[in-house]
Copies of this chain bind each other. A is one copy, B any other.
Amino acid sequence: MTVSTHFIHMKEAIALAQQAYAVAEVPVGCVIVKDGRVIAKAHNLTRTSCDPTAHAEILCLQEAGRVLQSAYLEDCDLYVTLEPCPMCAGALSWSRIRHLYYGAYDSKSGGVEHGPRVFEHTTCHHAPGITGGMLEEECASIMKNFFCDVRKKS
């Protein structure tokens, strides 16, 4: 896969984050790719679906599992606009996803390069390859604008 293909998939995740923004959900978007094809896509839906687990990554993993009829996604890569939280990092580990590409770093709630650093423990049964900071500025600005809007409204 060429570098530009990775950016195309992150752009698809960014478009989903913008869809989340439009419906007042925390703007995080995610796609899962197998053999160069997007097989699952989602954005955060915690508020709309009254579901504390409905992060973009969780919904995407669930959809990919349905599509492939398997709980294991060994040959799949995941693109997400924000560093996964501990819940999502744990889910990625269980799914055996091959590579995680993410956009903005999340020093407040991240679980990959911050906080519990889920993949770095000997008890972690599977750690994907990790590429952080992809289109970081664009991904971070969506989050910044969203929370700026939230503060203005409150």
Which parts of A9-62 form the interface with B (CB within 8 Å)?
Answer: 46-47, 49-54, 58, 61-62
A86-B86, A124-B115 known; A91-B61 Cβ under 8 A? no
**A2 on the B face (CB < 8 A):** no
Asked if A121 is at the interface (CB within 8 A of a chain B CB), the reply is yes
Q: Quick check: B65 and A95 within 8 Å, CB to CB? A: no
Nearest residue in B to A67 (C-beta to C-beta)? B50
Q: Does A85 contact B (CB under 8 A)?
A: yes
Query: Mask for A107-119, Cβ within 8 A of B = 1, else 0?
Result: 1111100111110
State whether B50 touches A53 (Cβ < 8 A): no
Q: Sort chain A's interface into a size bin.
A: 35 or more
CB <8 Å contact, A90 and B86: yes
CB-based nearest B residue for A46: B71
Query: Which of chain B's residues have a CB closer than 8 A to the CB of A109?
Result: 123, 125
Whole-angstrom distance between the Cβ of A88 and the nearest chain B Cβ = 7
CA distance A110 to B73 in the complex (A): 22
Indicate which residue in B62, B70, B90, B116 contacts A117 across the interface (CB closer than 8 Å). Answer: B116
Inter-chain contacts of A114 with B (CB < 8 A):
123
Closest CB-CB distance, A40 to chain B, in whole Å? 12
Q: A93 to chain B: which residues have CB within 8 Å?
A: 86-87
Assembled-state Cα–Cα distance A125/B124 (Å): 22
* Sample of 9 A–B contacts (CB below 8 Å): A46-B94, A51-B66, A52-B65, A52-B94, A53-B95, A87-B88, A90-B111, A111-B118, A115-B121
